[in-house]
Homo-oligomer: A and B are copies of this chain.
Amino acid sequence: YAQSSVTIFGIIDTNVRWTDNNGTRLTEMSNSGLATSRLGFRGVEDLGGGLKAGFWLESAVNSDDGTSNATRFWHRRATVSLLGDFGEIRLGRDLVPTFNGWLDFETFGTVGVGSLLNLYTTVGAPVDTLVRADNMVSYFLPSNLGGFYGQLSVAAGEGTVGKKYMGARGGYKTQTFNVGGFYGETESTGDDKFKTGGIAANYDFGLFTLQGIVSENKFRSAKERHYTFSGFAPFGQGTIRASYTKVQGKGTLDGNDADQFAVGYVHNLSKRTALYGTYALIKNDGNADYRVGGRASALGDDSQGLEVGIRHTF
């Protein structure tokens, strides 16, 4: 029981948010606009011979009202790992590779009013694997493959619809660019599968970095395709961020399109603490009803939001 083996870490990110969904307005205190508020415990043990064991417990914290995830206290991650020259084998609840596959290319980090997740659905499939999965075995390639990386994951369904998952991602990364792809399937109602896949790339031009993702979600005859193009640039003590995403409905969702625009600025007070502001606008077409947050309104309307907050890492 070596006390030094446990690291406590976390983030508290709290903001004030104004949303306007075609006139339905809400002023609120919200959380996780720049990074998700969390509290975690982790550690690594050296087993000798290049082998290591590690654990990771990470809880989501709603830092505006003190609640945590209603279903899973360790909502964000609960894993144990064996690591070695062969890579890493990881067991438990964790991010799925199909989410990791675009998270690394998402300028707004999949959180806040400008999150790419605003536009992501499971196209009507009752699945619980869009972001994370329970009961998952993952294999990660080692980090010494000259830039190649990869993850392969399988999650047990245990007899529950929408839980049985298989997915992978892979790519090649240098100091200036990163290209990758990902694909995954989840067993859903009536043995039909929810499928998601895509490709992504970014390039660091020095003054700024540009990122792009093209991806598709599919269930039965419903389909949605995402094209997202974003970038960020250092500016003073901080970072300017901007993104544009188009989502296109296909099949039974034909015509349910939307465009999301997001801009923001992150002002670093230190490495650990930053102030930030983000503005985002979604323009819905057809029966599309994507929102930046806030309250429901009529279908097909515009949704916009502004949030100003503080993120403190510990």
Please measure, in the bound complex, the distance between the C-alpha atom of A218 and the C-alpha atom of B73, giving whole angstroms. Answer: 37
Please name 16 pairs of A and B residues whose Cβ atoms are closer than 8 Å in the assembled complex, sorted by A: A1-B313, A3-B8, A14-B79, A26-B158, A43-B314, A45-B270, A47-B270, A47-B273, A51-B269, A61-B74, A63-B80, A65-B135, A66-B93, A66-B134, A67-B71, A80-B312
Which residues of chain B have C-beta atoms less than 8 A from A73's C-beta? Answer: 66-68, 73
Report if A300 contacts B (CB, 8 A): no
Which residues of chain B have C-beta atoms less than 8 A from A109's C-beta? Answer: none
Question: In chain A, residues 243-296, which have Cβ atoms closer than 8 Å to a Cβ of chain B?
Answer: 269-270, 272-273, 295
Which residues of chain B have C-beta atoms less than 8 A from A68's C-beta? Answer: 72-74
Listed in ascending order, the chain A residues whose CB lies under 8 Å from chain B are 1, 3, 5-10, 12-16, 26-29, 39, 41, 43, 45, 47-48, 51, 53-55, 57, 61-68, 71-80, 82, 91-93, 134-137, 155-156, 158-159, 269-270, 272-273, 295, 309-310, 312-314
Helix, strand, loop or mixed for chain A's interface? strand
Contact indicator B64/A91 (Cβ below 8 Å): yes
- CB-based nearest B residue for A275: B82
Contact indicator B10/A41 (Cβ below 8 Å): yes
**Contact status of A312 and B53, CB under 8 A, knowing A28-B158, A80-B12:** yes
Q: Which of B5, B6, B78, B156 contacts A63 (CB 8 A)?
A: B78
Closest 6 CB pairs of A and B: A29-B135, A65-B134, A66-B74, A66-B78, A66-B93, A66-B72
Please measure, in the bound complex, the distance between the C-alpha atom of A77 and the C-alpha atom of B273, giving whole angstroms. Answer: 20
Contact indicator A28/B156 (Cβ below 8 Å): yes
Which residues of chain B have C-beta atoms less than 8 A from A28's C-beta? Answer: 135, 156, 158
Q: Which of B6, B29, B72, B79 contacts A67 (CB 8 A)?
A: B72
Please measure, in the bound complex, the distance between the C-alpha atom of A3 and the C-alpha atom of B51, giving whole angstroms. Answer: 24
Contact indicator B67/A14 (Cβ below 8 Å): no
A30 to chain B: closest CB distance in Å?
8
Which residues of chain B have C-beta atoms less than 8 A from A91's C-beta? Answer: 14-16, 29, 63-64, 309-310
A29-B136, A45-B270 provided; 4 other pairs, C-beta below 8 A?
A43-B314, A45-B273, A53-B310, A65-B78
